[in-house]
Amino acid sequence: MIQRQPAFIDSRDRGLAYGDGLFETLRVAADGRIPLLSLHRQRMLDGARALGIPAPQPVEIEQALQKALAQKPGPGLIKLILTRGVGGRGYLPPANPVPSLLWQTGDLPVWDKCSRQEGIVMGLCSQPLQADPFPGYKHLNRLAQVQARAEVARQGWQEGLLLSPRRQPLEATAMNLFARFEEGWWTPDLAAARSGVAGVMRQWLLDDLTRRGEGVSCDLRPLSQLRHAQGLFLANSVVGVLPVRKLAQWQWQVPPEVRNLQARVDAIFDA
């Protein structure tokens, strides 16, 4: 049984008390479609399995989404939050949890035309991203990203790059990292790093590029390798593809291959 969108959040809810839960942020198109819903749903179900939280049934997710869409028709955002619910003594989870499935709506973030066309300015976050016991999943423990995002704001950057303890580039505070090299595409191997979020848009891009016969290297590389890239971009399911024009002392033009990817992703939501 899943408790759906209670009138108030119990202060004993384990999601609030311990970050014991998961979330997904879904982009809604103008016509009310959620183009990447299947990927979001699968990641939430996989994450629930990894954390040992009873997963909501597809019909329960659908009901929550319909209520959210009725409150705020697209375009916009829907955030789904699944917690283990109330119960347990201290950290010990209850033997028979009754999870809560919550939702909230919001507006799409606005990126100016220049940033989307010519790229954004990134900085290097000072604190490394440590190994995560649940790498890849979008669980509620996001303090590293909260602190990194605060640093981005203090420094006046538009985004920040998080590095591993070995100074390998991993991801931005809220987006995955891709680079275009002469030999092809590259993105960090988050599974090998045991940290970061395996984004839904990241997965869509990996699938799309593979279908088109454009291989993507997925490994861990030193930060210095980025200076040899033809171009960088960030990606998530809300913004799509966002080029990077400057990172620390390095600068890039936006390659045509990145512009083509950006157009393909935009078409998902504009179709």
Give the pLDDT score at 197.
96
Per-residue pLDDT of the chain (271 residues; tens, 9 = 90+): 444 555 568 889 999 999 999 999 999 999 999 999 999 999 999 999 999 999 999 899 999 999 999 988 879 999 999 999 999 889 999 999 999 999 999 999 989 999 999 999 999 999 999 999 999 999 999 999 999 999 999 999 999 999 999 999 999 999 999 999 999 999 999 999 999 999 999 999 999 999 999 989 999 999 999 999 999 999 999 999 999 999 999 999 999 999 999 999 999 998 6
The per-residue pLDDT for 88 is 83
Q: Can you give the pLDDT at residue 9?
A: 81
Tokens of 29: 């198109």
Do residues 19 and 146 both lie within one domain?
no
Q: What string of DSSP letters covers 163-188? A: E-TT--EEEESSSEEEEEETTEEEEE
Q: What is the pLDDT of residue 253?
A: 96
**Are 144 and 252 within one domain?**
yes
pLDDT at 6 (0 to 100): 53
Of 88, 106, 124, the domain-final residue: 106
Whether residue 271 is contained in a domain is answered as: no
Domain containing residue 71: CATH number: 3.30.470.10
User: Are 244 and 118 contacting, i.e. CB atoms less than 8 angstroms apart?
Assistant: no
Whole-number Cα distances in Å, 233 to 18, 19, 236:
33, 30, 10
Same domain? 208 vs 157: yes
Query: What is the C-alpha to C-alpha distance for residues 205 and 185, in angstroms, rounded to an integer?
Result: 11
On whether both 124 and 13 belong to a single domain, the answer is: no
Q: What is the pLDDT of residue 7?
A: 54
| C-alpha 147, offset from chain centre | 16
| 181 part of a folded domain | yes
Amino acid type, 181: F
Question: Do 128 and 165 touch, CB atoms closer than 8 A?
Answer: yes
Decide which of 89, 106, 123 is a domain's last residue: 106
Whether residues 117 and 238 fall in one domain: yes
Structural domain total, the chain: 2
- Does residue 40 sit in the same domain as residue 148? no
Give the single-character DSSP code of 104. E
- Structural domain that includes position 80: 3-106
Q: What is the Cα–Cα distance from 164 to 204, expressed in whole angstroms?
A: 24
